[in-house]
A and B are shown apart, each in its own frame.
Chain A
């Protein structure tokens, strides 16, 4: 058994003249949460659908749980769970009936009560699918994907369109899946989502992987720390290091620096001398968002 739940080498897929995936490698370790992040049209869904067996690759070597998904084998379908990009559930069954229906498709399904508990739909067990909110339908979608107690779960943009509270709920759910020992391969637009959930992040753009690593590794590549504070004066009033390298943004003085210790020392010395309060002072490491925008940002969403 390979240590990887998913192994992809040189995967290519074109639709006519349009290259959706231009030759990518992926390696998803068993038990990890792996996030494939990129803008719309970057090739995320195409990649996922090839791994799920919904599409055929033009070229490349694809292994999912040591099987070739292109074979469309029942043995593989029993071991994976799929949550597609758009939620698609029969509207006239209840939550319970829908999960029961999908449990019936698998030889060793997870218990109904456990599934309802994992996705937090206890209060809506007897509700018709059509009466659920969008977020609730999405959670039911995940329960359907988990019905067969899969080793590997594909989640295509699980939280797109969620309000912030619903997203936090979904994140909690995905963390629970990891705690259950599942491998999760998800796609997302949101860097904070990848940062919050993923052990490994792969940034895809125009069908190519442009960066990959743990969230910390990716951040380390972008070594800058951002120092900022509220400031109403002119740039020239600031200490020399900030006046030359910094900028004023929305009433804040902002400095991106690779040497935060020295710059902070100079800044606080200057502030103490002048009696400046440095209101709203913040010192933050480069976020994954900055890395992401640097790599994928010039692509129009």
Chain B
């Protein structure tokens, strides 16, 4: 929002968080499951949280917790599934962050079951970010704090950047869970034509939007192209994923 200052911060914020994520202790899991665990641990440390969790979308009666900073975080997410309400549900349904700086009366009215249970284990604030790329919904990143109060501008940027990294990890996770796969190969930089190309590839291969983006990221990485350049070629028709032998 504030031009240069934020630009500089934004670029280095991502790099800073990538380094912090990589430096987190292993958790016993392998591959990108470990990466998600490390993202949660980084969120807890950097944003002064009591818990952080990554959940899959609470649809079809299943609400799987993909990663959590600890058992308490996992229980807070599972609790939302049990009571059928909560910020994770709303972030996934409304497709925008749900930021609750205080579990006050207003929050209690909105999610009576969740707020009572969360408050009873010491949660005072919860900030939930949808993990999505357009129509492709991967889940939500839930950040729990033991003290009430809003996130500062810098904290919002940190949280959104962590959400970006989590989205990228989850997209790549749909293809493989290779421990050696490089994390964060190419930032999704918000350019319109990348998403147009994603729609094109979805139809060319008859796959989901998430798989389409995962395949594009994999191919760009394998061919040493940027995602933006590959996307331009897909739109021009000079690169395709189809029956012409170019499919990966």
Do the two chains belong together in a single complex?
no
Name A residues whose Cβ lies closer than 8 Å to a Cβ of B: none
Name B residues whose Cβ lies closer than 8 Å to a Cβ of A: none
